[in-house]
Structures are given as structure tokens and as C-alpha cells.
């Protein structure tokens, strides 16, 4: 049985201009000890879908799902009290903006020890020892000193590491990392990614890595799910996704990477991600797709089979790969 199983998740927001569908029937499945990466551009709904799993969306959001099961608990049926026992302990998240996610009124040491006290019930001395150990683990120099620092006294990268230490403090079964290394330098990023993959090896933790950095995906993930405008448009194991993407959007995204360029001019994707008011009737990518025809513009393509990466496309690319893989 998988650790996290979400079927047909949709999230819509009631805005003053009407209902905005941020996540549109997305399936997510993570096994124990697996690294799933969710990639997509900003506004593709990758963070919102994970916040919905955590139950952290504001009241303006309407979350519907056929199934939302984490480690045997049905997340949609839990009371707020029951949910608090799971979230932060077995199901933890590293948030994107460390500066606004930490409480400016308390020292980082107080904040990390709060989780240890509430979830693990450690005594004062054990909490302190564990906090120092965690800070060392994420590569914070002089941890004893840093515990009594306030978030504004630390740099962005340092705060990000505090967030990571906090998320892994209770040895979660599933860690959701939302752009965990975006604010960090590459050498620190390498340290953190090694730490996260190492934890998975040690504790069998599942990891959901939300990112837009294709390099990080290629080096860390095992399975990749590509989101576009709220929909999951493709899902494949990492090697075959980079070798043979089936959805034209994935292919275009990979081509746009500077390191894959052969020419001084990079291939680009014309147009922008559709917003609330210009959502096309058919395939969401059809206005920007070079293969689109009238059929694509008229009706939304259903997801294809697993051998074609569940691509939502009428004309998937690299279909001859099917025989090979």
C-alpha cells in the first residue's frame, strides 16, 4: 500500500471574480521511501495541491478528492485535532519562503523545540540536544549559538536550513519539500539534497520534491509528475521522462533549458500559462502547442495509459519508445 494516495484532487478558490480552479483532478501516489518530484512553472498548482494534502489552505479554498489517504488515515475525514497529531510529525513540509514562514517573535531554537515538545514529548535537556543535533545535520555552523538567534538575524539560506531542520525533527514518514533549495547556493543545495536522500535511505521516508529546477529533478527524483495550469499532464520515471517526454509541454520545457541548447538562441514556448479568464475549452496547452489542431482546441484530451506517461495529449510524442521501454 502506498504511503500517500490522492485521487482526483481538485482545489478551487472563491475569488471576487468567480471561481478559480487552481488544481484540476490531480492524482498523487507516493510509496514508502520513494522520491516523487512535481515540476511545473509558477501558477501550475504544484504548491496548492500539496498544501491541500497538508490541510493548510485558507477557508476560501474548496478541496474535493475521491480519495486522500495518508498512512492509513483518511485525511478528508480527520478532525482538526486529529490532523494536528499527524501534520508536523508524520507528514511534514518544508515551505518555500523561509523568511515569512518562521515566526519573527521567537528564536529559531524555541520554534524547533516547540515541535519536539508537542509531538515527541521530550524533556528540556533532550530537546536541546536534539535541536543542536538537527542544526548540525543541516549544516548550520555554531548550532549552540544559532539556537538563540531570531529569524531576522539569520540569512535566507540559514533560515531555510532552520525550516528543513524543523521539518525533519520528528522523523516524518512523508516529507513534502516545496522548493527547498531555491534560496540556497549550489554547494549548500548539494549538501541539503544529499541530506534528504540520506534520510530516506535511513528512515524510509517518502519525499515529495516540488521544484522548477530540472537539474535538481534529474539528480534527485525517481518519478516525475509534470503539472501545467493545475493539471497533471504527464508522469514518468525520471530517466524516461528526460529521454522521451510524451507531452509536447514537457518536451518544450526540456528544450528550453540552456544546457541542452545547441544554438545561441534557445527554443522558447510562445504565449503564457492560461489564467482564470482565458482557460481554453480543449487542451490547456493547445494555444502554445506547435502540434495543436482543431481537435485539441475543441475538447480536452483524457490522460493516456501508463505506458505513455498518463500524458494528457491526443498526439503524444516519442511513441515508438513504447516498444523499447
Binding site for another protein (CB under 8 A): 41-42, 136-137, 139, 141-142, 155, 157, 185-191, 193-195, 212-220, 238-239, 242-243, 252-254, 256-261, 264-269, 272
Minimum CB separation from another protein for residue 252, in Å?
Answer: 7
Q: Which of 139, 301 has the CB closer to another protein?
A: 139
The C-alpha cell of 96 is what?
518555500
Output the nine-digit C-alpha cell for 165. Answer: 531542520
Task: Tell me the closest approach of the beta carbon of residue 249 to another protein, in angstroms.
Answer: 9
CB atoms within 10 A of CB 129: 12
**Nearest to another protein of 75, 209 (CB atom):** 209
Q: Which is nearer to another protein, 167 or 252 (CB)?
A: 252
Q: How far is CA 27 from CA 22, 230, 233, 241, 319, in A?
A: 14, 11, 11, 18, 23
Give the nearest distance from C-beta 87 to another protein in angstroms.
Answer: 27
Q: How far is the CB of 266 from another protein (least distance, A)?
A: 4
Contact in structure between 275 and 41 (CB atoms under 8 Å): no
12 in Cβ contact with 18 (< 8 Å): no
In whole angstroms, the minimum distance from the beta carbon of 258 to another protein comes to 4
Q: Is the dihedral of CA 315, 317, 320, 322 positive or negative?
A: negative
Give the alpha-carbon dihedral of 23, 17, 284, 309, to 10 degrees.
0
CB of 314 to another protein, least distance (A): 22
310/241 Cα distance (integer angstroms): 12
Which is closer to another protein, CB of 33 or CB of 43?
43
Q: How far apart are CA 293 and CA 315, in angstroms?
A: 10
**Closest CB to another protein among residues 126, 218:** 218
Tell me how far, at minimum, the Cβ of 238 lies from another protein, in Å: 5
Burial class (CB within 10 angstroms; exposed 0-12, middle 13-18, buried 19+) of 185 = exposed
* 120 vs 254 by CB, closer to another protein: 254
Q: Where do runs of H (alpha helix) occur along the chain?
A: 46-54, 80-86, 98-101, 108-115, 124-137, 143-146, 156-167, 186-203, 214-220, 238-243, 248-255, 294-298, 321-324
Residue closer to another protein (CB basis): 18 or 215: 215
Amino acid at each position: 500500500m502506498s504511503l500517500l494516495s490522492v485521487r482526483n484532487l481538485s482545489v478551487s478558490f472563491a475569488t471576487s471574480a468567480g471561481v478559480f480552479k487552481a488544481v484540476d483532478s490531480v492524482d498523487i501516489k507516493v510509496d514508502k521511501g520513494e522520491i516523487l518530484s512535481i515540476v511545473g512553472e509558477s501558477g501550475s498548482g504544484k504548491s496548492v495541491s500539496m498544501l491541500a494534502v497538508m490541510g493548510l489552505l485558507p477557508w476560501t479554498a474548496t478541496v474535493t478528492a475521491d480519495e486522500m489517504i495518508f498512512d492509513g488515515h483518511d485525511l478528508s475525514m480527520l478532525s482538526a485535532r486529529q490532523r494536528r497529531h499527524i501534520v508536523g510529525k508524520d507528514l511534514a513540509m518544508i515551505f518555500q519562503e523561509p523568511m515569512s514562514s518562521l515566526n519573527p517573535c521567537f528564536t529559531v531554537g524555541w520554534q524547533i523545540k516547540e515541535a519536539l515538545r508537542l509531538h515527541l514529548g521530550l524533556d528540556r535537556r533532550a530537546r536541546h540536544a536534539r535541536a543542536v543535533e538537527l542544526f548540525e545535520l543541516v549544516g548550520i555552523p555554531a548550532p549552540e549559538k544559532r539556537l538563540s538567534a531570531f529569524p531576522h538575524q539569520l540569512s535566507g539560506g540559514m533560515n531555510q536550513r532552520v525550516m528543513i531542520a524543523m521539518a525533519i525533527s520528528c522523523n516524518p514518514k512523508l516529507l513534502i519539500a516545496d522548493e527547498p533549495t531555491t534560496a540556497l547556493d549550489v554547494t549548500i543545495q548539494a549538501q541539503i539534497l544529499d541530506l534528504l536522500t540520506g534520510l530516506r535511505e535511513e528512515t524510509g521516508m517518502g519525499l515529495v520534491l516540488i521544484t522548477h529546477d530540472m537539474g535538481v529533478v534529474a539528480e534527485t527524483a525517481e518519478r516525475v509528475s509534470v503539472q501545467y495550469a493545475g493539471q497533471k499532464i504527464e508522469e514518468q520515471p525520471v530517466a524516461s521522462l528526460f529521454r522521451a517526454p510524451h507531452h509536447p509541454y514537457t518536451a518544450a520545457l526540456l528544450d528550453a533549458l540552456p544546457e541542452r541548447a545547441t544554438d545561441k538562441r534557445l527554443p522558447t514556448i510562445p504565449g503564457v500559462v492560461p489564467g482564470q479568464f482565458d482557460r481554453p475549452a480543449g487542451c490547456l496547452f493547445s494555444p502554445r502547442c506547435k502540434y495543436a489542431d482543431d481537435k485539441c482546441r475543441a475538447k480536452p484530451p483524457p490522460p493516456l495509459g501508463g505506458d505513455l506517461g498518463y500524458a494528457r495529449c491526443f498526439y503524444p510524442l516519442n511513441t515508438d519508445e513504447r516498444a523499447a521501454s
